[in-house]
């Protein structure tokens, strides 16, 4: 019978295997799932000892070049190396674009999310961003951001453009708690998504506020969760001066920005608005994930986990 720690380690490795992403020891530590809802935080030594000594884990997990992965999946180590190189290029590109985007009126912080946040991106992958806006400014932040990206033709709709910027989430500084955006209580995909937002621009310490606003519910499942500390070479510093005047003049007319943008919503978005957590249009929150793959990823995870459990007769 496997221990809760063994099952938690195996679960983390299986989940990230879905994305061809082998884990380092530190990443396993940070990604440990509490499957029982009773487990306390686990030390790095406990994880290392379990990986070294567990018969169950050694049957299913291999190690190479500092990465741990499922047996028979050696190729994903090379995949991770290659995608890291691509991610480095995309981060460098993103910093150039964000050096301008950060000056957009009402924008206060920008987080990288999805595959680029993990350094696990493909050449054709978009650069996905979460924009934190000044209180009451999500509609204006989105309005000016989309105009800027349209002018330089790097929105997802522009064909033959590599490194497109996708702005699918806008949230204001008073709505940083994402708890109610889960599809269900154990929304694993969503938990990892939120926990790995990478703050590339943060003018007022808003990433710290964001982390603290979500830590209480994330820690119930990701028991070793820690805030992301961005590398100095991957952040851009705030130097906007003129936007304060624009914000003062336009702030009272946020409803106008809302009306203009709602009228231009594609039919698919209009049909999905507030039907569930994929597309949300609320006060202080705009979220447009039409192609939400959380259910698909959860099914893949469960199927792969059950296959490993059946193969090793790992019982509860």
For residue 311, count other CB atoms closer than 10 A to its CB. Answer: 10
Position 273 scores a pLDDT of: 95
Position 1 scores a pLDDT of: 62
Give me the CATH number covering residue 304: 1.10.10
- Which residue, 234, 231, 250, is CA-closest to 242? 250
Q: How confident is the model at residue 198 (pLDDT cuts 50, 70, 90)?
A: very high
Position 183 scores a pLDDT of: 93
Say whether both 103 and 73 belong to one domain.
no
Secondary structure (3-state) at 15? helix
- At 272-295, the pLDDT tens digits run 999 999 999 998 999 999 999 999
CB 112 within 8 A of CB 127: yes
CB 213 within 8 A of CB 176: yes
- At 146-182, the pLDDT tens digits run 999 999 989 887 666 678 999 999 999 999 999 999 9
Say whether both 154 and 255 belong to one domain.
yes
Say whether both 203 and 276 belong to one domain.
yes
CA 306, CA 115: separation in Å to the nearest integer?
25
For residue 136, count other CB atoms closer than 10 A to its CB. Answer: 17
Say whether both 226 and 274 belong to one domain.
yes
Say whether both 124 and 62 belong to one domain.
no
For residue 273, count other CB atoms closer than 10 A to its CB. Answer: 14
Say whether both 16 and 131 belong to one domain.
no
Token pair for 124: 């054709």
- At 37-84, the pLDDT tens digits run 665 778 999 999 999 999 989 999 999 999 999 999 999 999 999 999
Give me the CATH number covering residue 92: 3.30.460.10
CA 143, CA 148: separation in Å to the nearest integer?
9
What integer best gives the mean pLDDT of the chain?
Answer: 91
Say whether both 25 and 60 belong to one domain.
yes
- At 114-145, the pLDDT tens digits run 999 999 999 999 999 999 999 999 999 999 99
- Stated as kind and residue range, the H or E segment containing 214 is helix 206-218
Token pair for 280: 């949300």
Q: Which domain does 301 fall in, by range?
A: 4-78+296-312
Res. 187: pLDDT tops 90: yes
Token match 């606003």: residue? 213
Q: How far is CA 61 from CA 14, 156, 308, in A?
A: 10, 38, 11
Position 159 scores a pLDDT of: 67
- Return all residues near 224 (Cβ < 8 A) that are at least 6 apart: 29, 30, 31, 32, 41, 42
CB 16 within 8 A of CB 23: yes
Say whether both 170 and 54 belong to one domain.
no
Q: How confident is the model at residue 243 (pLDDT cuts 50, 70, 90)?
A: confident
Say whether both 61 and 97 belong to one domain.
no
Say whether both 177 and 286 belong to one domain.
yes
CA 44, CA 223: separation in Å to the nearest integer?
12
**What integer is the mean pLDDT of 195-216?**
95
Res. 107: pLDDT tops 70: yes
Between β-strands 127-133 and 107-113, what pairing exists: parallel, antiparallel or unpaired?
antiparallel
DSSP state for residue 178 in the 8-state scheme: -
Token pair for 117: 């946040």
Identify which has the larger pLDDT, 219 or 1. 219
Say whether both 98 and 182 belong to one domain.
yes
Instruction: State how many domains the chain has.
Output: 2
CA 288, CA 39: separation in Å to the nearest integer?
34
Say whether both 208 and 71 belong to one domain.
no
Res. 316: pLDDT tops 60: no
């Amino acid at each position: 019978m496997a221990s809760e720690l063994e099952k938690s380690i195996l679960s983390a490795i299986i989940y990230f295997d879905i994305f061809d992403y082998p884990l380092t020891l530190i990443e396993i530590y940070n990604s440990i799932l509490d499957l029982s809802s009773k487990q306390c935080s686990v030390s790095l030594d406990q994880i290392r000892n379990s990986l070294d000594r567990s018969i169950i884990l050694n049957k299913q997990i291999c190690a190479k070049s500092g990465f741990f992965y499922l047996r028979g999946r050696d190729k994903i180590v090379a995949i991770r190396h290659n995608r890291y190189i691509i991610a480095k290029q995309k981060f460098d590109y993103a910093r150039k674009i964000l050096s301008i985007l950060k000056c957009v009126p009402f924008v206060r912080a920008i987080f990288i999310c999805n595959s680029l946040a993990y350094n696990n991106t493909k050449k054709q992958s978009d650069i996905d961003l979460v924009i934190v806006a000044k209180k009451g400014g999500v509609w204006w932040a989105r309005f000016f951001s989309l105009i800027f990206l349209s002018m330089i033709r790097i929105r997802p709709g522009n064909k033959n453009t590599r490194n497109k910027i996708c702005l699918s989430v806008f949230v204001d500084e008073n709505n940083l708690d994402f708890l109610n955006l889960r599809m269900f209580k154990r929304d694993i995909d969503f938990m990892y998504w939120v926990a790995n937002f990478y703050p590339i621009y943060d003018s007022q310490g808003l990433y710290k506020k964001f982390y603290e606003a979500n830590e209480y519910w994330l820690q119930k499942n990701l028991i070793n969760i820690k805030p992301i500390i961005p590398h100095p070479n991957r952040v851009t510093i705030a130097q906007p001066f003129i936007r304060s005047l624009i914000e003062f003049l336009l702030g009272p007319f946020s409803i106008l920005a809302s009306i203009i943008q709602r009228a231009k919503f594609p039919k698919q978005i209009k049909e999905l608005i507030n039907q569930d957590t994929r597309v949300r249009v609320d006060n202080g929150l705009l979220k447009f994930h039409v192609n939400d793959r959380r259910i698909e990823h959860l099914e893949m995870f469960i199927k792969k986990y059950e296959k490993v459990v059946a193969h090793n007769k790992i019982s509860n």
